[in-house]
Amino acid sequence: MPKIRVSLPLEISLEELLAQRQHFGKGAISSINFSYDQLVLHTLSESYSIGPQGQYKRIYHYHIRKTAGRFVHYSFFNLDKDFENPGDLYRALSEASNAGHGLLNGTKLFLGWNVQALERGLYYYGFSHEPMHKIKIPPATFTLTVLRDPVERFLSHYKMLIQFKEENIDHPCMQTEGPWLGNSIYDFIERIPKEHALNQIYMFSENFSVDEAYRNITGLSHYMFQSDLQTGMKQLGQKLGINFEDVGLVGAGSKKKLHLPDDALQKLHKLLEPEYELLERLRNNSTEHRSYLTCTDQQEKMQLL
């Protein structure tokens, strides 16, 4: 897919902006330089009127790792049809460091990971892994997150790192997270920092307070569960007035099967007990979502991981 840098004047109307972009042809993804094209960004971002009453100017996703967050990204990327696959846009976005990890597709500005730019609010849909206390999202933003069964999320993270190690994948996270693996799941449980093990709490509470995390999550515009993502996305679409199309399987993850000893599973449940408390409270607060697995159910399901 072609990726191009569009040179635009600093004063330009939305119509002129889109006319400039159309000159490059369907399928082109235009990188926007967040340092030099501020007026262009303001012009485009001010045109957004999101929600049934147009009450939102942008959408921000507090992306907790290993919760199927990329499926949500792709669903938004797929709203414009200037590219064949939303995965192409995601890859281009991750590579667009010279443009502040921001890309223009159709009429929509997408922005990932760049905290300074995300705090400015000049985008249609943005996301990062930053916890709430480390990023200040502007008013009039529709906020969302996805949550997952704690053991499933933890083991998905573990299997991802094993895959990167075994296949010599040079992912940036391996420099920091690779040493956590050690020689066994026991090593990983002991070595992984608390903010990563309990990331679903830490994302919304710097002090790992279940009460604070619960208040902050229920204060979001929308939260949903990976175990019933179709329902969550349908509800999200209703709130935003968007008809999301199915983007298929995204980020299937490692196929490696794990057979955890009972004592390892017990250690893991003890470590993640605060997250189970949090998710149970959130589940009870949202009766439209399915129940989470009990510990007994989880032990049976471990044979499938």
* Residue 128 exposure: Cα atoms within 13 Å on the Cβ side: 20
Residue type for position 90: Y
Is 165 part of any domain? yes
Residue numbers of the domain that contains 291: 150-200+255-304
Task: State the pLDDT at residue 88.
Answer: 85
Is 282 part of any domain? yes
Q: What is the DSSP letter of 50?
A: B
Q: What is the DSSP letter of 67?
A: S
Is 74 part of any domain? no
Domains held by the chain: number: 1
Task: State the pLDDT at residue 37.
Answer: 56
Task: State the pLDDT at residue 216.
Answer: 98
For residue 166, CA distances in Å to 99, 156, 169, 176 come to 33, 15, 8, 16
**Euclidean distance between CA atoms 201 and 129, whole angstroms:** 13
Task: State the pLDDT at residue 19.
Answer: 57
Q: Which 3-state string (H, E, C) describes 99-154?
A: HCCEEEECCEEEEECCHHHHHHCCCCEEEECCCHHHCCCCCCEEEEEEECCHHHHH
Is 292 part of any domain? yes
How many C-beta atoms lie closer than 10 Å to residue 175's C-beta?
Answer: 9
**Euclidean distance between CA atoms 163 and 208, whole angstroms:** 29
Structure tokens at 56: 């939102």
Helix, strand, or coil here: 266? helix
Is 16 part of any domain? no
Q: What is the torsion angle, in degrees rounded to the nearest 10, for the CA atoms of residue 271, residue 201, residue 113 and residue 43?
A: 170
Is 141 part of any domain? no
Is 217 part of any domain? no
Q: Kindly state the helix (H) or strand (E) to which residue 4 belongs, with its residue range.
A: strand 3-5
Helix, strand, or coil here: 169? coil
Is 173 part of any domain? yes
**Would you write out the chain's pLDDT as a tens digit for each of its 305 residues?**
333 333 334 344 556 655 554 443 344 444 554 444 566 677 788 889 999 999 999 999 999 999 999 999 999 999 876 667 888 888 888 887 766 788 877 778 899 999 998 999 989 999 999 999 999 999 999 999 999 999 999 999 999 999 999 999 989 999 999 999 999 999 999 999 999 999 999 999 999 999 999 999 999 999 999 999 999 999 999 999 999 988 776 665 566 678 889 999 999 999 999 999 999 999 999 754 433 433 334 443 333 34
**Euclidean distance between CA atoms 268 and 53, whole angstroms:** 45
As to burial, measured by CB atoms within 10 angstroms (0-12 exposed, 13-18 middle, 19+ buried), residue 288 is exposed
**Euclidean distance between CA atoms 296 and 30, whole angstroms:** 51
Structure tokens at 177: 């997270």
C-alpha closest to that of 14 among 83, 109, 82: 109
104: left (phi over 0), alpha (psi -120 to 50) or beta: beta
**Euclidean distance between CA atoms 144 and 222, whole angstroms:** 5
**Euclidean distance between CA atoms 234 and 236, whole angstroms:** 5
Model's pTM, two decimal places? 0.84
Task: State the pLDDT at residue 254.
Answer: 61
